[in-house]
Chain A
Amino acid sequence: KAGVTQTPRYLIKTRGQQVTLSCSPISGHRSVSWYQQTPGQGLQFLFEYFSETQRNKGNFPGRFSGRQFSNSRSEMNVSTLELGDSALYLCASSFNSGDGYEQYFGPGTRLTVT
């Protein structure tokens, strides 16, 4: 099976702009989660979607939003970009093995805000 794919892999934006990142989960996985990774804060949970519904949300401002489509693909959007939004954004798709969830991550999108 193909792994989790994320596009684009690299992105450079200017403060104040908005950005949309895309994630395609592993075939058959219906759940997608997003994480932000920065040197200072480490890996932090953004949100999780299952069957087009947001099931869980991390402690991020409303500028961060996401959605999931009927084919399980997900997008996250960051509006009014700030310098501090520069980070690696990781998407994970997961399935429940019957003994809990296993999450598999994509290669990430590295966002630089200038």
Chain B
Amino acid sequence: AQKVTQAQTEISVVEKEDVTLDCVYETRDTTYYLFWYKQPPSGELVFLIRRNSFDEQNEISGRYSWNFQKSTSSFNFTITASQVVDSAVYFCATAQGGSEKLVFGKGTKLTVNP
């Protein structure tokens, strides 16, 4: 069975600080996908990124970057120069290859203070 662990329940930072959200996953599948979603107070889950298990390249999108390491089963998310608008709950998730069923971690609540 798949499992995602987000050990950080809550993180609080001051604006402009860099912050890394940790994600550790468990799966027996050789083909799988990893995701990050952002959930602002409005409740909607906003898709941030999807990674497949064969692509360990790091990804950067503006202030966001992701580090995927199969050796440690981790898919960490870093926000550089955080802003108040980054305040939200962030979820890491995994899915088996060919499946649309997402297995989510418990989420990390990020608060960015001005």
Report A-chain residues with C-beta under 8 Å of the C-beta of B46.
Answer: 105
Report B-chain residues with C-beta under 8 Å of the C-beta of A110.
Answer: 43
In the assembled complex, A56 has its CB within 8 A of some CB on chain B: yes
A107 touches B100 (CB 8 A): no
Best-surrounded residue of B37, B47, B100, B101 (most CB of chain A within 10 A): B100
In this complex, how many residues of chain B approach chain A with their Cβ under 8 Å: the count is 24
In the assembled complex, A60 has its CB within 8 A of some CB on chain B: no
Nearest CB in chain B to that of A58: its residue: B101
Report B-chain residues with C-beta under 8 Å of the C-beta of A99.
Answer: 52
B-to-A contact residues, CB < 8 Å? 33, 35, 37, 42-47, 50, 52, 91, 93, 95, 97, 99-107
Additional A-B contacts beyond A48-B101, A90-B45, A110-B43 (15; CB < 8 A): A35-B102, A42-B104, A42-B105, A43-B102, A45-B102, A55-B100, A90-B43, A92-B102, A99-B52, A102-B50, A103-B47, A105-B37, A105-B44, A105-B45, A106-B44
Nearest CB in chain B to that of A46: its residue: B101
Report A-chain residues with C-beta under 8 Å of the C-beta of B52.
Answer: 99-100
Report B-chain residues with C-beta under 8 Å of the C-beta of A90.
Answer: 43, 45
